[in-house]
Amino acid sequence: MLRVPDWPVVVARQTGALPAGGASGAPGAVVHALRIVACDEGARADGVRPGMRVRDAQAASPMLALAPADPVGEALAFERVLRAVLAVVPVAEPIGDGGLVLRMRGASRFYGSEPRALEALREALAPLGLQVALGVADDRFAAELAAAAGGASGGAAIVPPGGSAAFLAGLPVSVLGDGELPGMLHRLGVHTLGGFAQLPEASVRDRFGEAGLVALARARGLDDRGVDDPGIGEERVLRLEFEPGIEGTAELALAVREPVERFVRQLAEARLVCSEIRIVLRGEEGRISERLWRQPGFLRAPDIVDRMRWQLAESDLGSALVEVQALPERLDQDAEHMPGLWGGGGIDDRAKHALERLQGMLGREAVLTAAPGGGRLLAERGVLTPWGDAPAVRAQGPWPGALPPPRPATVFRPPLPVRLLGEAGEPVEAAVLDAREGAPVRFAPPASGAPSSGPRRVVAWAGPWPIRRRELGDVVHRIQLLDGEGDAWVLLHADGAWLAEGCYT
């Protein structure tokens, strides 16, 4: 693992967005959405930390100099680092935030030892004038932490072969990330990676799910992530400037079609295709719209043009468009996307073209794809995203109060209002059902959820079961019932009203 500490700050100083640092310079930080995303050593000495609000950081460090985040500029600047590293080793994978991973076995054999290979890396990076942190280990997670230790000591940290587990054992569980897992382990009395590594896999799976098993493997020094060759040793970025600025999407499509086709053709000549691309739009008044796009397979020239049009239509630049940048976030070998000998291997091309055509005619939000989600409510169990967008990251459970399978075939988005009535026609409250002081007798389904919206007889019911969620305020209750027409329903009681969450028929 090689990492340039505080890479966003380094780039901001190189471009002049931040003044020179050092002993006589002002501490510096990079901000996005009014929060600190990176800071230098001088800012940390004053108590500034990433994630801190800007006003709190300025209170802690009154002389703090700020610069806006520039992810595109950082990625472009890091390609100089990548090219220097590729002069020493054959394969290196950038991982963002000024870091990359590389394979050491071949380099250590070529240079005679791991310390000599690291020295060759430092010599290759010396003309760039960068301070780097280096870490070597059997697996990627241990190498990341070894690089952090090497950066703190001003040198390189080499974990002996087979020593990853011993190296990790004494480290706190907080190095696993900022999620819920470290806090839950602390509450269980597990404070180090060594203690976590001794837990049985079955218990970790039952308590923390698949994410817990991944963290357990890393704590044991068995991280299975390798080093991929993204094939981006050269600067491959499309940048277009417009004078005068562009106002509409049709004008943008005409202006970018030929440069985008030439850009994709250059990638094809290098036997590369782009499967993820970051598009940055800049308005005349300085506003910026940035978005990461992907789709199954790879992006062709018309796909990139469409995404530029959609992003311009959905963004609020407040002025004419004067600059477009397209930065490939992932480049694959074209052979990886060739059709198989017997077909298959991905979505059918005819279906893909039909979906893309529909989306081009109806708009980005008109064609959606579904993916499993996580949550207590039925609508959260299936996440809908526009075709071509990156699917939402599935939140990890467990989810107390979630409805077990089988789940309703129809889920209402949003839930539809219904009426639940007692013997005398009075509305039934969840508290009454919970205390068994009454029972629902009549049920009026939603007008759009059943062929007949008239009141129906309640044949059977079960519940209520509470769902406690901070964002929902009071406790929400869920019941299931079967009506006289043979339809089964899932109902929610929130804010004094009944809502149909789903229907089984």
Structure tokens at 498: 């009944």
* The Cα angle at residue 28 between residues 24 and 29, in degrees rounded to 5: 170
* CA–CA separation, 311 and 303 (whole Å): 12
The pLDDT of 224-249, averaged and rounded, is 75
Task: Tell whether the model's pLDDT for residue 96 goes beyond 90.
Answer: no
* pLDDT for the residue 384: 80
What does the pLDDT look like over 270-302, one tens digit per residue?
Answer: 778 888 888 889 888 888 888 888 776 788 898
Inter-residue contact 329 to 276 (CB < 8 Å):
yes
Confidence of residue 22 (pLDDT cuts 50, 70, 90): low
The pLDDT of 476-501, averaged and rounded, is 86
pTM for the model: 0.47
Inter-residue contact 430 to 493 (CB < 8 Å):
yes
* pLDDT for the residue 234: 46
401 alpha carbon, distance to own chain's centre: 26
The pLDDT of 416-428, averaged and rounded, is 84
Map tokens 């990139």 to a residue. Answer: 304
* pLDDT for the residue 224: 86
**For 27-119, where are the E strands, in sequence order?**
28-32, 35-39, 65-68, 92-96, 99-102
* CA–CA separation, 186 and 372 (whole Å): 30
Closest CA to 366 of 335, 387, 339: 387
The answer regarding whether domain 244-338 maps to CATH 3.30.1490.100 reads yes
103 alpha carbon, distance to own chain's centre: 26
Mean pLDDT value across the chain: 83
Confidence of residue 449 (pLDDT cuts 50, 70, 90): low
Residue 281 phi/psi, 5-degree rounding, is -115, 135
Domain with CATH 3.30.1490.100 in the chain: 244-338
Confidence of residue 233 (pLDDT cuts 50, 70, 90): very low
* pLDDT for the residue 138: 92
The CATH code belonging to domain 18-69 is 3.40.1170.60
* pLDDT for the residue 166: 93
What does the pLDDT look like over 99-139, one tens digit per residue?
Answer: 899 888 888 888 888 889 899 898 888 888 888 889 999 99
Establish how many alpha carbons lie within 13 A of residue 445's alpha carbon, considering only the half-sphere containing its beta carbon: 26
Confidence of residue 245 (pLDDT cuts 50, 70, 90): confident
* pLDDT for the residue 232: 47
What does the pLDDT look like over 299-349, one tens digit per residue?
Answer: 889 889 988 988 888 888 888 899 998 888 777 766 666 655 555 545 566
What does the pLDDT look like over 136-193, one tens digit per residue?
Answer: 999 999 999 998 886 655 568 899 999 999 999 999 999 898 778 999 999 999 999 9
The pLDDT of 10-25, averaged and rounded, is 78
* CA–CA separation, 212 and 197 (whole Å): 11
* Residue bearing the bigger pLDDT, 381 or 456: 456
* Residue bearing the bigger pLDDT, 441 or 447: 441
Domain with CATH 3.40.1170.60 in the chain: 18-69
What does the pLDDT look like over 25-78, one tens digit per residue?
Answer: 789 999 998 999 999 988 999 999 999 999 999 999 999 999 998 887 787 788
* pLDDT for the residue 303: 85
